[in-house]
Chains A and B, each alone.
Chain A
Amino acid sequence: MTCLEFERDLPECVEGVPSPEQQAHLNSCPACSGLLLDLNSIASQAKMLSAAEEPSAAVWNAIEERLRSEGLIRRSEPVYLPVEAKPSFMQRWRAAWLVPVAAALAVVAVVKLYHPTRLNNDDAKQVQQPITSTAPVKNASAKRKPALSHEDQQWLSTVAARPPAQLAKFRSDLDQANAFIEDAQESLQQDPNDVYMQQMLMNAYEQKQMLYELVVDDSSH
């Protein structure tokens, strides 16, 4: 099993029992085992949090307002939550759990998003390197990940409310589609009359279009 195949089955693996094949991969790949460990840790922490007392409605409203002002969520049906005039110190303190959770999610997202995926399945095995959630992975990934366009960023913002693992998968798919486009374009610069590469470029754009459409369709439910 390769890292790509493992990532594909990752959502089922989180908080579940890995199959023998997945376990064998986990034993041999520190990057994937670290990622799974992080996700399981967050999932278990989230469960404990849900059992704790809810933060005040004012906290949720403030978060929603902030996300909206940053364009991360769109205006939908109005949310009618009772707003307390002056949240107490204890209530503000209870909301502080959001900070480490958000930080942990960000760390996991970085590890997941910068995981090596833009390679042939067999090649991916060769480049697996032990990384931890705090390792400086940005430099290694910068060469592999094409920059996101404004449209890509807008698209990602429309699906920002999805679960982190799903969001990371979308981002991974987007990076793959962009990588395909970029490589086909580079090849065509060398030989603009290459009819087969022209077809490949069209196929790459078709993949990206499908990704945009399917994910946004699903988000509308």
Chain B
Amino acid sequence: MGDAMSTAKCAVRFATVLALAGVAFGAGENRKDLHFKVGKHPAISINNPYGPVVVKAGAPHEVVINAILHSDKVEIDQSQSHNRIDIISHLLQGADQYSGVVEYQVLVPADASLSIHSENGPVHAENLHGDLALEGGNGAMEVLDCGDGHVHVRTLNGPVTISNVRNGHVEVVSMSGDVSLTSVSGPYVAVNSNTGKIEYAGDFGGEGEYSFTSYAGNIEAVAPAYASIDVTARSSQGRVDSDFSLEPKHTPFYAKAGSYFSGTLGKAASSVKLMSFSGKIHLKKRQ
């Protein structure tokens, strides 16, 4: 009996300590839920120096923002003007990369236009059909299952992943972040990288213009045998290879053998330019 009581007391003490620890641990965090009523094609801007921003399609006329603030050294400034919503994580005195973190989970109408700036945190956008402008320093940028709009991504070092984007006007500029495009097609798809790798896997559809350029990063494009492209690849100092037997065509520049190829495949519906200064270029055939 005495043992049972002692065990029960221990259990109660343990539970109390756990509960207090939980309160203490969570004391620094602060949740905020924001709701906005909007019309068609709302414009939403989020500026978050530290922490992730995840945006997904939600109800047609509502914007819902769930934010977790990691300390009281950061606050959320919000404003709405008709169909435009601005959200800013406002760093207060003494905030740093830990205490300044705000985690955003955002639901927006699928036709919303988004502008997101995140210095360090990752950004994820999914199932949207409006224009997307994503900017960041080091965080990963991910765009998934979007289309019919502009997708503009600018990053210094963060990797960029864009998947399943149809009929998009896609532009990516990166310094050293790797850029990966999978099943991305549209009238204009351009990637401009300095040292980051560029990888494309898709069919170059949409009778579009595809332009991938890098300074020192390698470029690898994987296309199916049925791709319909007019392709030019050239690297001033890197090796250039193609798995395809292309119909040769005239090039408007002088280049030494092995550093370029140019030709057409199928009906040459889309234009593809793969250009690098010192990176390697490889146009691969999908197996």
Residues of chain A within 8 A of B91, CB atoms compared: 221
How far is it, in angstroms, between the C-alpha of A194 and the C-alpha of B119 when the chains are bound? 37
Please state if A121 and B195 are interface contacts (CB–CB under 8 Å): yes
Partner of A203, one of B192, B252, B253, B279: B192
B175 to chain A, nearest CB (A): 5
Residues of chain A within 8 A of B277, CB atoms compared: 180, 183-184, 200
Interface centre among B137, B194, B232, B275 (most CB of A within 10 A): B194
Please state if A121 and B216 are interface contacts (CB–CB under 8 Å): yes
A207 to chain B: closest residue by CB: B194
A170 to chain B: closest residue by CB: B156
Residues of chain B within 8 A of A210, CB atoms compared: 154, 156, 173, 175
Please state if A218 and B215 are interface contacts (CB–CB under 8 Å): no
Asked whether A4 is an interface residue with its Cβ less than 8 Å from the other chain, the reply is yes
A184-221 CB contacts (< 8 Å) to partner B: 184, 187, 191, 194-197, 199-200, 203-204, 206-207, 210-211, 214-215, 217-218, 221
Residues of chain A within 8 A of B234, CB atoms compared: 196
How far is it, in angstroms, between the C-alpha of A123 and the C-alpha of B237 when the chains are bound? 11
Asked whether B236 is an interface residue with its Cβ less than 8 Å from the other chain, the reply is yes
Please state if A4 and B176 are interface contacts (CB–CB under 8 Å): yes
Please state if A176 and B215 are interface contacts (CB–CB under 8 Å): yes
Q: How large is the interface on A (under 10, 10 to 19, 20 to 34, 35 or more residues)?
A: 35 or more
Please state if B215 and A180 are interface contacts (CB–CB under 8 Å): yes
B261 to chain A, nearest CB (A): 13
B140-189 CB contacts (< 8 Å) to partner A: 154, 156-157, 173, 175-176
Please state if B252 and A211 are interface contacts (CB–CB under 8 Å): no
Please state if A214 and B137 are interface contacts (CB–CB under 8 Å): yes
Residues of chain A within 8 A of B238, CB atoms compared: 120
Please state if A187 and B236 are interface contacts (CB–CB under 8 Å): yes
Question: Given A120-B237, A195-B252, are A203 and B213 neighbors across the interface (CB < 8 Å)?
Answer: yes
Asked whether A119 is an interface residue with its Cβ less than 8 Å from the other chain, the reply is yes
Asked whether A118 is an interface residue with its Cβ less than 8 Å from the other chain, the reply is yes
Asked whether A177 is an interface residue with its Cβ less than 8 Å from the other chain, the reply is yes
Q: What is the 8 Å Cβ interface bit string for chain B, positions 206-227, against chain A (1 contact, 0 not)? A: 0000010101111000000000
Residues of chain B within 8 A of A92, CB atoms compared: none
How far is it, in angstroms, between the C-alpha of A114 and the C-alpha of B253 when the chains are bound? 35
Residues of chain A within 8 A of B119, CB atoms compared: 218, 221
Please state if B195 and A176 are interface contacts (CB–CB under 8 Å): yes
Residues of chain B within 8 A of A177, CB atoms compared: 175, 194
How far is it, in angstroms, between the C-alpha of A197 and the C-alpha of B235 when the chains are bound? 10
A28 to chain B, nearest CB (A): 20
How far is it, in angstroms, between the C-alpha of A177 and the C-alpha of B254 when the chains are bound? 25
Residues of chain B within 8 A of A121, CB atoms compared: 195, 216-218, 279
Please state if B176 and A8 are interface contacts (CB–CB under 8 Å): yes
Please state if A217 and B117 are interface contacts (CB–CB under 8 Å): yes
Question: Given A121-B216, A214-B154, are A199 and B275 neighbors across the interface (CB < 8 Å)?
Answer: yes
A199 to chain B, nearest CB (A): 7
Interface centre among A120, A122, A215 (most CB of B within 10 A): A120
Partner of B216, one of A119, A199, A200, A206: A119
Residues of chain B within 8 A of A173, CB atoms compared: 156-157, 175-176, 194
Residues of chain B within 8 A of A125, CB atoms compared: none
Asked whether B49 is an interface residue with its Cβ less than 8 Å from the other chain, the reply is yes
Q: Which residues of A contact B (CB under 8 A)?
A: 4, 8, 11, 117-123, 169, 173, 176-177, 179-180, 183-184, 187, 191, 194-197, 199-200, 203-204, 206-207, 210-211, 214-215, 217-218, 221
| Contacts A/B (CB < 8 Å), 12 sampled | A118-B216, A120-B218, A123-B278, A176-B215, A180-B194, A191-B253, A195-B253, A207-B215, A210-B156, A215-B156, A217-B117, A217-B135
Q: Which residues of B contact A (CB under 8 A)?
A: 49, 91, 117, 119, 135-138, 154, 156-157, 173, 175-176, 192, 194-195, 211, 213, 215-218, 232, 234, 236-238, 252-254, 273, 275, 277-280
